[in-house]
Structure 1
Amino acid sequence: MSCEDEYESLPPTATVWVHLAAGAVAGVAEHCVMFPLDSVKTRLQSLCPCPETACKTPVHGVASIIKREGWLRPLRGVNAIAAGSMPAHALYFSVYEKTKQVLTGNTVGHGNTLAYGVSGIVATMCHDLVMNPAEVVKQRMQMMYSPYGSSVECARCIYKVEGVSAFYRSYSTQLIMNVPFQAVHFMGYEFWQHFLNPEHKYDPTSHLISGGMAGGLAAAVTTPLDCVKTVLNTQQTPEIQCRSVLLKATSSYRGITEAVVSIYNHRGMAGFTAGIQARVLYQVPATALSWSVYEFFKFLLSSKGDAVALV
C-alpha cells in the first residue's frame, strides 16, 4: 500500500490519539497566530465605545491598540484561548473524523457533502462545551477597559460574582452560530478538496487553499450571530466588586433576543455586520493554517505509527 493510500485510510487504521494530538496542535495554531485581529473584532462588536471603530481597517485597529495601550495589549487573553483550544480542538477533530467515518463508510467523493456537514455539526457541539468558557474569559480580557490582571483572575472573578452560568450564557448563541459555520466550513473544505486534491492524498497546498476559502466563507455568513455572541460574552453586571476593582457596565442581557434588540437599537442593521472584515481576515489564514497543521500532523503521526507497526 502506498503512503498516500495509508494517509487516506487513516480513520479506520489510526488510533484516536492521532486525531487528538493533531487536533490539539491545529487548535493552538488557528486561534493564536491571528489573535490581534480577533481582539479588534471583539471591540468592534461589543456595544462599549472604543477608538477602533474609527479605524479604516482591522490592521489599523491593531496599530491603534498598540499605540494607546502597548505592544502586548492585543494579545491579552491569548493564554486563555490557547488553554481552551487544545482540548476543544482535540475533541473537535476526533469527533469529526469518527463521525465522518460512520456516515460515509470511509469512502471519499463529492456525494458525501451532506455527511461532511453533519459530521462538522456533531463535532461543533462537543467542541463548544469546552471552548465556550475560554471564549468568555478571552473576550472579557480583550475589552478596552478590562481590569483583570490575568486570565486566571478573570475566570475566578466571573465565577465568584456571576457563577458558572456566566461561562455558558452565550452557549446557545455559540451553537446557533457554529452549527452553520462548521457546516459551511467542513462542506466547503471537502468540496474544494474534491477539485484541488481529487486523489485525497497529503497535499499541503490544497489543504491551505481549501481551509482558507472555507473559513472565510463561513466567517462572512455567520458574522451577525458572532456579534450577538460577543455582546453576551462581554456584558457584566452593573457593579462587580472583585479584588477592590469596581466595574461599571451598561446593560445586562439575559438571552439572544435581548442582545439582538439592543444591537439594533444602538447601531441598526449595520450593527450585525460589525467586525466582519476583521473576522474574515482572521478566519482565512487561521483556518488555512489549522487545516494545514492538522493534515500534516495526521499524516506524520499515522506514518510513524505504520513504521512502528512494521517493526
Structure 2
Amino acid sequence: MELSCGRPAAALPGMEAESPGEDYESLPTSASLSTHMTAGAVAGILEHTVMYPVDSVKTRMQSLQPDPKAQYKSVYQALKKIIHTEGFWRPLRGINVTMLGAGPAHAMYFACYEKMKRTLSDIIHHGGNSHLANGIAGSMATLLHDAVMNPAEVVKQRMQMYNSPYKTVLECIRTVHRTEGLGAFYRSYTTQLTMNVPFQAIHFITYEFMQEQINPRREYNPRSHILSGAIAGAVAAAATTPLDVCKTLLNTQENMALSSVNISGHLSGMANAFRTVYQLGGIPGYFRGVQARVIYQMPSTAIAWSVYEFFKYFLTKHKLEKRAPY
C-alpha cells in the first residue's frame, strides 16, 4: 500500500479540533483499532481490484521472453487482444486471491502504522509530528503488509501470465507448494521490501512538493490530496519499475527466460534476478511494463486515498453519533 502523510483537516462534527501534530491523512486519535483496520481493509481491496485488469497487463508486459502471441504495444491494445483471444474474464483471473490478501494486509498495515507513528512521535517529538517517526512506522508496517501480500502476489502473477497452466487459485497454490516448496511464496519478499522502501520515500517527497505547488496553505482540499497522491504514485512507480520487473521474474519463474540463459531449477535472490534481467533485456529490460505500472498506480493511489478517507470519516462519525445522548 503506497500512502503518505498530509496536513491537518477541520475537525469532524461533534469532535474537538485535532492537535497541531495530528495529520489529516491519519485517522483521528479517537478512532479505534477496528476503525483503522476496517477503513484500511476496504481501501486496500478497492485499490487492488478496481484497476486489476491493468495490473494483469503490467505483469505480461514485464515478461522478459514473452510468447509471440503475448506481445503488446500498449495497455489498451493488450486488454483488447486478451479479451478477444482469451475471453472477456481473462484479465480478472487471480483477482480473488488478491482480494483475500489485500484485506488483511492493509488492515494490519494501517493498524501498525498508526500505532507505531503515535508511539514513536511521542518519543522523538513529544506532542508533535515527526517525519522520522512516520518513516520508521511505515517501514515496520510494510514488513507486515508484504508478509501477507507476497504469497498472494506469487499466485496472482502466475495466473496472470499468458498460457498459465493454472485454472484456479487452489490449483496454483497446491502445485507451487508441491513442486517448489513453501519458500516459493516468499522468493521475492526481500525484493518487495527493497522496492517499497524507496517507493515510499519518493512518493512522500513528490507528494509534499506537489502540495507546496497546488495547496501552499495546506488546507483541507480533497482534490489537491488526490491529485498530489496520484502524481506521487506515478513518479514512484516509474522510478521503482526495475525492482518490480525483478519481483515479477522471481514470482513467475518464466521457463523460457531462464532456459535461454542456461539457468536450471529455480531462480532466487534479488542480485540473481537483477543479473538475469540485464542478460535478457539489457538496461531497457528493467523498464518493461513501466507504462502499465504508471497507468495502474495513478488511479489506484487516488482510489486508496479517497476510500480510506471516506471510511475513516464515516466510521468515526457513526461511532460518535451512537455515543451522543439523545
Q: TM-score range by the shorter chain?
A: 0.7 to 0.9
Q: Percent identity?
A: 50
Aligned AA (1:232): L
Counterpart pick for 1:3 among 3, 12, 35: 12
Shift of 1:3: 1.8
Counterpart pick for 2:50 among 26, 30, 33: 33
Q: 1:191 to 1:29 in 2, by over 3 A?
A: farther
Residue in 1 aligned with 2:271? 257
Residue in 2 aligned with 1:179? 197
Residue in 2 aligned with 1:160? 178
Quick check: 1:137–1:155 contact (8 Å CA) kept in 2?
yes
Quick check: 1:216–1:284 contact (8 Å CA) kept in 2?
yes
Residue in 1 aligned with 2:99? 82
Residue in 2 aligned with 1:245? none
Partners in 1 of 2:276 and 2:11 — Cα distance? 58
Residue in 1 aligned with 2:80? 63
Q: 1:270 to 1:122 in 2, by over 3 A?
A: same
Residue in 2 aligned with 1:196? 215
Alignment of 1:221-260 (within 5 A): 221-235=239-253, 252-260=266-274
Q: 1:60 to 1:237 in 2, by over 3 A?
A: closer
TM-score, normalization: structure 1? 0.86
Partners in 2 of 1:186 and 1:94 — Cα distance? 20
How many residues align? The count is 297
Partners in 1 of 2:318 and 2:32 — Cα distance? 12
Alignment of 1:15-164 (within 5 A): 15-51=32-68, 54-105=71-122, 107=128, 112-164=130-182
* Structure with greater helix share of residues: 1
Residue in 2 aligned with 1:270? 284
* Worse-superposed segment, 271-280 or 54-63: 54-63
Partners in 1 of 2:208 and 2:75 — Cα distance? 29
Give CA deviations for 1:154-200 in whole Å, capped at 9, x if unaligned. Answer: 11211122111110000011111111112333454466457638556
Residue in 2 aligned with 1:246? none
Quick check: 2:211–2:218 contact (8 Å CA) kept in 1?
no
Give CA deviations for 1:185-238 in whole Å, capped at 9, x if unaligned. Answer: 34544664576385564x432332132122111101110000000000001689
TM-score, normalization: structure 2? 0.83
Partners in 2 of 1:29 and 1:294 — Cα distance? 10
Partners in 2 of 1:186 and 1:25 — Cα distance? 22
